[in-house]
Structure 1
Amino acid sequence: MKKFMKNKKQSLSLLIIVMLVLPFVLNIYWLDVLTFVLFYVVLAQGLNIVVGYTGLLDLGYAAFFAVGAYTTAILMTTFHWSFWLTLPVAFLFAVVAGVIVGAPTLRLRSDYLAIVTLGFGEIVRILAINLEITGSASGIYGIPRPTIGSYVLSTQKDFYYLILVVAILSIIIVYRLGNSRIGRAWVYIREDEDAAEAMGINRIRLKLLSYASGAVIGSFAGSVFAVKMTAIAPLSFSFQQSVMILLAVVLGGLGSIRGVVVGAALVIVLPEILRGVDDWRHLIFGVSLIVMMVFRPQGIWPAKHEADDEDDLEEDESKDKKQSVPV
């Protein structure tokens, strides 16, 4: 066990050091690409709670991304709030939106739920296009930069480190939730709703909690996205955005935290690598994804591998206990 934990801590420490050093090695272009990878890591972790843990097919997740972005943008440009003060309001609006949509629809299953969530995503986008407070189709411009004391976060490195912190927080939150009693209940619901309910699990309440938790993480990414870009428009929160986030989760491995990180990286980096063959870029990207899903239908890093790591840890733990028992 000690050896396992030591290796795990060393790997995490090395990864964190690499992520901290990368801004000083990469040029501005690739640093921006890496920043968007981290945005997708946050969004995909939020959707992983809904789709990966609970098994709810959500095709409108970009709506919560939009709720966070527009809440922060409106409060900062119209009411001149600090960025940090807009975050709890964005979280609250995301939870309310999640409950409003989830309460009447989470009794639905499979394709019906997917259709409803798709409709919700389009409703939010159409509202953003038509409401004056959201800037209509043009969106909101001139969003102020966030500040820490007297320091203004304005450089590419500043926002890289900001979204890196958000990504780490989202991973910790999802990990803690997944390994809690609530997380195990979500998995039971995903595997068999009727059996879970027979065991005394309140599936509707836990589904709603899953949906709201995913919504909060998505809104967090939206708030940071708004201040990074200083301008947002409805086009940034289209159905295609929801599909790409879902693709990151499915490609990486449903319910797998590490797999989702890998999936998010592939979804962003692969199209950038293929920019040299622009005419064929989307075709090659699509074929690559199909090939990966054919040969790895469970995802690149399925949740089973994470479970195996936990089993190894428990096995090492039991060995240590046996060795410590006096003969």
Structure 2
Amino acid sequence: MIACPPRFKFPWMLLGTLILPWVIEGLLGRGWVRILDFALLSVLLAIGLNIVVGYAGLLDLGFIAFFGVGAYAYALLASPQFGVHWPLWAILPTGILVAASFGVALGWPTLGLRGDYLAIVTMGFGEIIRVFLNNLTAPINITNGPQGITMIDALHLGTWSFARPHRLWGIPLPALVGTYYLFLLFVLLALFLSRRLEYSRIGRAWMAIREDEIAAASMGLDTRRLKLLAYALGAAFGGVSGGLFAGFQGFVSPESFTLQESVMILCMVVLGGMGNLRGVVAGALLLAFLPEVLRPLGGWQQHWFHRVLIDPSTLRLLLFGVTLVVLMRWRPEGLLPSRARAREWHTS
């Protein structure tokens, strides 16, 4: 018998997410609303990686490659690079299919690998994609190399452009707030689909593979097909996030899809709690906002010591790393672990 997913018990949380950008803009300024928009894209990425790492137990250090594939799919189909300007409803499904295909391409040769070997191969795959994006300029200039692609069409649905402010029922709607609601819609849809997958037969099969692949195969599960499906679905979420990123940013370059970004997304999943959607969302939001909270460190040093003792970027990374170490020391199972993972840590 398959368990049913729990119902959404806290509708006030949905109300809170709807008014959040207005509260942040009023208290912290419009720049923080833009940070919030990027945080939602990180949440979408973390949900996709959670399918691969949290559900199926497949360590992936190259997940940012699917983010880059989705971003470049949008950029090439909605910019002067190829002279085409597809609508959003046509670009995103195309980006999903392309990213899912790359997910299968990654999963197929790694089906027999586990642990460190799988991590090394996926890390290499992510770097291969970045190098290709950086060098696909001859004999046909496809990606425009390290200069990236500019003048990308803004996100729009019909005549509604998310790059311009609007009035909705007489209420002024800033562009960044409108973009927030668009990203929130995709995040909620991703959460719904991921939760349904978790409590489906496929999700149970993934968890069986995660716990013991040999035992799962002996029970008749097609582990090869299930692992490929996990890679494809996780990559699809990454492709959606990448497409939204390209339309929101208006510019993409290979420098946005480095190994460091892959590690950051993995940290979001592990720190929040692998396999638990609430934990994944919490980890993504925490790590998306934490670097920005630590950004004023240079000004604080100037105020306290009348000079800058340590470069702000270096100090920010140092404190960021210390924070991760402390959290993982006292909460090794994650901030909001799944029940099964929490029992593992408390009984070990």
**Structure 2-normalised TM-score?**
0.84
2:79 paired with 1:44: no
**Structure 1-normalised TM-score?**
0.89
1:238 equivalent in structure 2: 258
Q: Is the 8 A contact 1:256 1:306 kept in 2?
A: no
2:231 equivalent in structure 1: 211
Cα deviation for residue 184 of structure 1 reads 0.5
1:125 equivalent in structure 2: 130
2:317 equivalent in structure 1: 282
2:16 equivalent in structure 1: 18
1:1-80 mapped onto 2 (5 Å cutoff): 9=8, 11=10, 13-26=11-24, 27-77=29-79, 78=82, 79-80=84-85
The percent identity for this pair of structures is 48
Unaligned runs of 5+ in 1: 309-327
Take 2:294 and 2:93, find their aligned partners in 1: how far apart are those partners? 39
1:183 equivalent in structure 2: 203
Take 1:83 and 1:10, find their aligned partners in 2: how far apart are those partners? 33
The farther-off stretch of 139-148 and 45-54 is: 139-148
Match of 1:86 among 78, 91, 102: 91
1:293 equivalent in structure 2: 328
Take 1:89 and 1:164, find their aligned partners in 2: how far apart are those partners? 21
2:217 equivalent in structure 1: 197
The farther-off stretch of 113-122 and 18-27 is: 18-27
1:304-323 mapped onto 2 (5 Å cutoff): 304=339
Take 2:9 and 2:118, find their aligned partners in 1: how far apart are those partners? 42
Unaligned runs of 5+ in 2: 164-174, 299-311, 344-348
What is the letter of the counterpart of residue 259 of structure 2?
F
Take 1:222 and 1:277, find their aligned partners in 2: how far apart are those partners? 30
Change (3 A) 1:275 1:250: same
| Higher helix proportion (structure 1 or 2) | 1
2:119 paired with 1:110: no
Change (3 A) 1:297 1:236: same
Q: Secondary structure at the residue paired with 1:255?
A: coil
Please list every run of at least 4 consecutive aligned residues from structure 1 whose deviation after the TM superposition is greater than 6 angstroms. 305-308
What is the letter of the counterpart of residue 258 of structure 1?
R
Q: Is the 8 A contact 1:251 1:293 kept in 2?
A: yes
Q: Secondary structure at the residue paired with 1:25?
A: helix
Q: Secondary structure at the residue paired with 1:224?
A: helix
Write the deviation string for residues 154-188 of structure 1: whole angstroms up to 9, x where unpaired: 11112111111111111111111111000000000
Q: Is the 8 A contact 2:333 2:341 kept in 1?
A: no
Cα deviation for residue 307 of structure 1 reads 9.6
Q: Secondary structure at the residue paired with 2:333?
A: coil
1:122-161 mapped onto 2 (5 Å cutoff): 122-131=127-136, 132-154=141-163, 155-161=175-181
Write the deviation string for residues 41-65 of structure 1: whole angstroms up to 9, x where unpaired: 1000000000011110000000000
Take 2:8 and 2:88, find their aligned partners in 1: how far apart are those partners? 34
Alpha-carbon RMSD across the aligned residues, in angstroms, is 1.8
Cα deviation for residue 146 of structure 1 reads 2.6
2:337 equivalent in structure 1: 302
Number of residue equivalences = 302
Q: Secondary structure at the residue paired with 2:14?
A: helix
Write the deviation string for residues 187-229 of structure 1: whole angstroms up to 9, x where unpaired: 0000000000011111111000000000000000000000000
Q: Is the 8 A contact 2:59 2:119 kept in 1?
A: yes
Q: Is the 8 A contact 1:40 1:264 kept in 2?
A: yes
Take 2:247 and 2:13, find their aligned partners in 1: how far apart are those partners? 27
